[in-house]
């Protein structure tokens, strides 16, 4: 596969469309509509949003809140920090009107991914994912496994990029690609 974990570039067989692949894993099927809506509004690849959902919560709507390293709790399918959500809602009020629950959480996650992609990452998907996992100040663009802020998962970028490829090809990502405490 061209690109991928070492470079942080899009895997060669990953799709960048703002709608999910027709053939998607069963765990993602119940979230198709909200992922597509968020991807289209944020203008970000739907299959990659699905990959982040898989890594963050395994697609489990009832995921137990996790404590982030900053002492806060990340929530929902995309494990969004409430402070980040508040900032995004102020920045993009129209995106969130009429949304609640999982739809709102996925919109927060998609909006944050797009913000990181356009600003911190300079349109590099791997850097985007590192920023999503470790925060915008937790990125070493020369080593996507490094954790300069001391937060995040060293293997996060690799796992999400591989999962993106799997979802784009209609395959279930391997079980070792997600945070197993959610299953």
Residue 126: CATH number of its domain:
1.10.530.10
Tally the residues of the chain.
Answer: 183
For residue 5, tell me if it sits in a domain: no
For residue 34, tell me if it sits in a domain: yes
pLDDT of residue 7: 58
Q: Which range of residues forms the domain containing residue 59?
A: 29-182
- How many domains does the chain fold into? 1
Task: Judge residue 60's burial from the number of C-beta atoms within 10 Å of its C-beta, 0-12 exposed, 13-18 middle, 19 or more buried.
Answer: middle
For residue 12, tell me if it sits in a domain: no
For residue 6, tell me if it sits in a domain: no
pLDDT of residue 2: 44
Tokens standing for residue 146: 């490094």
pLDDT of residue 181: 47
pLDDT of residue 10: 84
For residue 19, tell me if it sits in a domain: no
For residue 61, tell me if it sits in a domain: yes
For residue 91, tell me if it sits in a domain: yes
Q: How far is CA 172 from CA 1, 36, 85, 101, 166, in A?
A: 17, 19, 29, 25, 6
Please answer whether residues 50 and 35 qualify as being in contact, where contact means their C-beta atoms are separated by less than 8 angstroms.
yes
Q: What is the DSSP letter of 19?
A: S
For residue 90, tell me if it sits in a domain: yes
d(CA 172, CA 178): 11
* Average pLDDT, 10 consecutive residues per value, the chain (183 residues): 57 91 91 98 97 93 69 85 92 94 96 96 92 88 80 88 93 68 43
Please answer whether residues 111 and 42 qualify as being in contact, where contact means their C-beta atoms are separated by less than 8 angstroms.
yes
């Amino acid at each position: 596969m061209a690109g991928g974990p070492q470079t942080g570039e899009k895997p060669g067989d990953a799709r960048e469309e703002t709608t999910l692949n027709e053939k998607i894993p069963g765990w993602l099927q119940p979230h198709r509509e909200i992922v597509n809506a968020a991807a289209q509004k944020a203008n970000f690849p739907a299959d990659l949003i699905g990959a982040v959902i898989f890594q963050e919560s395994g697609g489990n709507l009832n995921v137990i809140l996790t404590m982030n390293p900053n002492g806060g709790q990340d929530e929902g399918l995309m494990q969004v920090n409430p402070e980040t959500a508040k900032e995004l809602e102020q920045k993009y009020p129209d995106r969130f009107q009429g949304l609640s629950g999982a739809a709102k959480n996925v919109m927060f996650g998609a909006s944050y991914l797009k913000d990181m992609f356009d600003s911190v990452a300079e349109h590099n998907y791997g850097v985007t994912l590192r920023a999503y996992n470790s925060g915008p100040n937790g990125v070493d663009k020369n080593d996507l496994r490094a954790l300069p802020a001391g937060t995040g998962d060293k293997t996060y970028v690799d796992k999400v990029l591989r999962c993106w490829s799997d979802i784009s090809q209609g395959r279930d990502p391997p079980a070792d690609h997600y945070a197993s405490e959610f299953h």
